[in-house]
Amino acid sequence: MKTDTVSTQEEQANIGTVLTFLREWDRGDGTVRGRMLSTFLTNNAGKTFYELELEFAQVASLFLARLTTWMRLTYMFGTFLGLQLKAIRIFLSASGHDQYLMEFVEDGGVLTLLEILSRSRCKAEEKAEALHLLLAVSRAGHKYKEIICESHGVKAIAECLATSSTDETKETACTLLKSLSHGNPKYQNQIYKGLIALMTCTSPKAQHLVLHTLRTVQSKMKTAHPSIVEPLLNTLRSLHLEVQDEAINLISDLTCCDVRSTLLSGLVVLLRPTKDDVQQHQNHDDTIPPESETIKTSGSLPVFVQQAAAAKTIRLLAEDSREVSRELLSLGVIQHLLHALGNREHGDAQIQASLALEHFVRSYPVIEEQVQRVIGSTLFAALMHRPDNLYMNLDETQSEILLTNTVSITEVLDGYKH
């Protein structure tokens, strides 16, 4: 009996402490609340739902509601936003129950977080924290994913990813988009199209993350949207190898989809940039982003970087699939590879074209004669011996012959079975 009395006295004392805390919060100004939040963060980081309820005498929700309301009323001023977001994260990440999550969502928390993402005045770390909270909401289940999407969340998250100045924010935004795409059939297509649109962003880090995320989302789609082709091929202009590698991986994945023919045709066309393409890039040197200094110093134009990447992609696709290899041949890939080999303004385009040519010649001996006739027996021997060094042996006359070649391998292949 005595124990029960002590226990009751402790509970009453705890309730009294909590009521005093809430009264101080209600009467306090921003400075007081900021100090109270700092103490709350120090004392409650990592606590479970049950531990928080014990700490707040089973009425922790009363503090969460006050905190959410204060954030909603003051986030545009930003004074205590970082503290507010971190405090809310303690509630939303508390394991053991989703009561706090439901209450936060019902109090308009998701809309406020999305507003924070859209505000240019909010700091990068505040946006990163808002994204972490949205991720906690998304991971709680498909009805929560739908709430985020219904609130135009995909657009806000995508814009935040494209404009963010920090890697952490970009990475969290991509993780959130990936999370929203899981088990959310109603909005999967919207997320997929949002990612396609993001491929045009200028940040290499963002492009790399978007391509990686797009591969995951694409694997769940029954078909590929035709709008994916052009921006995907344009990412091959990137000077960043990790971006090119992700793009090549996605192109490889898409050879099993309904856009394969368009993709392969596009790759072959990229081997032969038009004079207008080259002129256009020469006239827009001032628009080259600052991280692309190597373009300016080496004289390499984005279309030539893309030409080299296209040749590399073609070789990898041809090595991986005999069927794709034959389709590329039917598209006149040999003529276009020979043209790329003649581009003395970009050594890597010549190297990648040589490596691809060597693969096709070894795979289809029937085309050997045609290639040898264009480049001559000496260069052909060099091609088969060290394709990566062939470009060093080309003079101006030979390059001009390659640039203007009219080889038609498709006729040679008619009736050829191997």
Question: Taking the CB of residue 152, how many other CB atoms lie within 10 A of it?
Answer: 13
pLDDT along the chain (418 residues), means of 10: 50 82 95 96 94 92 96 92 96 88 96 95 94 96 96 96 93 96 95 96 95 95 95 96 97 96 98 78 50 42 95 98 96 95 94 96 92 90 91 89 85 53
User: Is 82:125 a contact under the CB 8 Å cutoff?
Assistant: yes
Are 338 and 301 contacting, i.e. CB atoms less than 8 angstroms apart?
no
Question: Who contacts 115 (Cβ-Cβ below 8 Å, separation ≥6)?
Answer: 75
pLDDT of residue 97: 76
Q: Cα separation of 390 and 384, whole Å?
A: 9
- The radius of gyration of the chain's CA atoms, rounded to the nearest angstrom, is 30
pLDDT at 11: 66
Burial of 263-272, coded b for 16+ CB within 10 Å and e otherwise, reads bbebbbebbb
By the 8 A CB rule, do 339 and 402 touch?
A: yes
Q: How far apart are the C-alpha atoms of 384 and 389, rounded to whole Å? A: 10
Return the SS3 of 227.
helix
C-alpha distances in Å from residue 272, one per residue of 317, 387, 414: 18, 20, 24
**Inter-residue contact 316 to 252 (CB < 8 Å):** yes
Q: What pLDDT does 243 receive?
A: 97
Distance CA 366, CA 410 (A): 11
Quick one: pLDDT at residue 292?
Answer: 41
Residues in the chain: 418
> Angle at CA 142, nearest 5°, toward 137 and 144?
35
